Structure 1
Amino acid sequence: MTTDNAADRATDLATDLFDRLTAGAADEWASYVDHPFVQQLGRGTLPVSSFRHYLVQDYLFLIHFARAYALAVYKGQSLADMRAAFGGLKAILDVEMDLHIRLCAGWGLSPADLEQAAEAKATMAYTRYVLETGLRGDLLDLHVALAPCVLGYAEIGKRLAAGPSGLAQGNPYRSWIAEYSGEAYQEVAAGARATLNRLAARGMTEQRFPQLLTTFRQACRLEADFWQMGLTRAT
C-alpha cells in the first residue's frame, strides 16, 4: 500500500459513518426523507385519516423498535454500548410512545386500542428486518439498520420546523414536528450518530462498508414504504 493510499484509507475510516451511508444511498435516502407524506406533513395538508393510520402503525412499530434497542443492550460489549442502547430504548418508551398516546387520545383511542390494532404489512416488513439484522449480525449491523429511523426523523423534524408552515399555529401536525425537531429528540439523534462512529472506529473495515451500505439502503426503502402505507392507508 502506498503512503497516499494509506492516507486515503485513514481519511475514509475517519469520516462520519452516517454521512458516508447517506451519500452512498442518496436516492433511497431522498425517497425517504422527501416522501410526499413528509411534504404534506410540513404543509399541514396530509389527510387526517392518513396521519391517524400512520400513527397507530407507528405505535406498533415503536414496540418492536424498543425490542431492537433491548437487543442492542444485550449485544453491547461495554457499558458505553449498553448505556447508548438504553438511551434509545428510554427515548422510545418515555418520549415517542407518550406522544403517540397523547395524539391518539384525541381520536378516542386508548393505549390498549393501539396495542390491539392489526399490524400493516409495511410495519411487519420493516420491524422484522431490523430485528433479523440485529440477530444475525453484530452491534454495528443493528445500529446501521436502526439509523434511518432515529436519525432520519431528526433530519425530517428539523427540515419541517424550518419551513414556512411546519410550526405554524394552523398546522394540525405542529406537535409532531415540534417533538422531532425539539432539543430532546435531537440529542437522542446526536447520540445515535456518535454511537455509529464509535462502533465503526472499533470494528469497521473498508471491506465491510458495502454490506453496511446494503443494510442502510434497505432500511431506507422500508422507511419510504412505511410513509406510503400511511399515505394510502394500506393494511
Structure 2
Amino acid sequence: MGYRFSDLTDACHQDWRAYLEHDFVRALGAGRLDEGAFRHYLQQDYLFLVHFSRAYALAAYKSRTLAELRQAFDGLKTILDVELDLHIGFCREWGISEDDLARLPEARATLAYTRYVLETGHRGDLLDLHVALAPCLIGYGEIANWLNTQAFTVRGEANPYDAWIAMYESDDFQAAMHDERAWLDARLAEVSPRRFQELSRVFTEATRLEIDFWQMGLDRRD
C-alpha cells in the first residue's frame, strides 16, 4: 500500500498541529486578535497570493499532461480572478486600499516562505511544488474546520474575523482542498520510501514557514 497525504502530516505531527492551532489562529477564532496584527497579516497574505499565482504558472510549465496543464490553469485563474479580488475587497473593509497593497514591502517571513515554494518548484517536479503549497491550500481549510469544533470560537457579528473563517469553510474552498488531497493521495501512492522522505522534508519545511508566517502577523514584524 502506498503513501497518502496524511502520512506527510503524521511525519511532522508536532509542527502540523503547531501550525493549525497557532496562537494567531486561536485569537482569531475567539475574536480576540489584535486588529493591527490582523491588518499586518492581511497585507502580507496579499503578497503571498501574488507569489502563489506565480507558483501555479510554474506548475503549468512543469505539467507533463493536458490534465495537469488544465489543473494549473484553473488554479491560476481562480487566484487571479477570484481569490485576489476577494482579498482586495476584504482588505478594503479593514482600511487597506489597493494602492496601499501595491506599495507594500515584503516581510522577511513572506520572502522566506514564498521563495522557498518557488525554489522548490524550480529544482523539483510538479509533485514537489504541490507538496510545498499543500500546507497553505489544505491547511487553511483544516484550520477553519478545526476552529468550528472549538468551544472558544465565536461566530457571527461578535467576532470581527468571522468573514475570514467563512471564506475558508466555504463550499468552494473546501472542495478545492479535497481535490488537492485526492490529487496528492494519487501521486504519493506511487512514490518510493526514499522519494517520500524527500517530499516529507519539503512538507515539513513549508509547514514551519507557515508557523513563522502566523508569528510574523502576531508580532507585527517586518
TM-score between both structures, scaled by the size of structure 2: 0.94
Deviation at 1:96, TM superposition (A): 2.5
Deviation at 1:191, TM superposition (A): 1.4
Q: Which of 177, 185, 206 does residue 219 from structure 1 map onto?
A: 206
Structure 1 residues 89 and 162, CA gap change in structure 2 (3 angstroms) = farther
Distance in structure 2 (CA, Å) of the matches to 1:208 and 1:166: 42
Q: Which of 211, 217, 220 does residue 230 from structure 1 map onto?
A: 217
Q: Structure 1: give runs of 5+ residues left out of the alignment.
A: 1-10
Alignment of structure 1 residues 111-190 onto 2, 5 Å: 111-164=98-151, 165-190=153-178
Distance in structure 2 (CA, Å) of the matches to 1:148 and 1:85: 17
Q: Does 1:81 align with 2:68?
A: yes
Deviation at 1:152, TM superposition (A): 0.1
Q: Which of 95, 102, 105 does residue 92 from structure 2 map onto?
A: 105
Deviation at 1:167, TM superposition (A): 2.4
Deviation at 1:135, TM superposition (A): 0.0
Distance in structure 1 (CA, Å) of the matches to 2:108 and 2:167: 26
Distance in structure 2 (CA, Å) of the matches to 1:150 and 1:104: 20
Structure 1 residues 47 and 39, CA gap change in structure 2 (3 angstroms) = same
Q: Structure 2: give runs of 5+ residues left out of the alignment.
A: none
- Greater Cα shift, 102-111 or 212-221: 102-111
- Greater Cα shift, 124-133 or 90-99: 90-99
Would you say the 8 A contact 1:160–1:166 is kept in 2?
A: no
Residue identity (%): 53
1:73-94 deviation per Cα after TM superposition (whole angstroms, max 9, x unaligned):
1111112212222232233223
Let me know the Cα RMSD of the aligned residues: 1.4
- Counterpart residue number, 2:23: 36
- Counterpart residue number, 1:47: 34
Distance in structure 2 (CA, Å) of the matches to 1:38 and 1:108: 21
Larger radius of gyration: 1
Would you say the 8 A contact 1:154–1:181 is kept in 2?
A: yes
Deviation at 1:216, TM superposition (A): 0.4
Q: Return the letter of the residue paired with 1:229.
A: M
The number of aligned residues is 221
Q: Return the letter of the residue paired with 1:222.
A: L
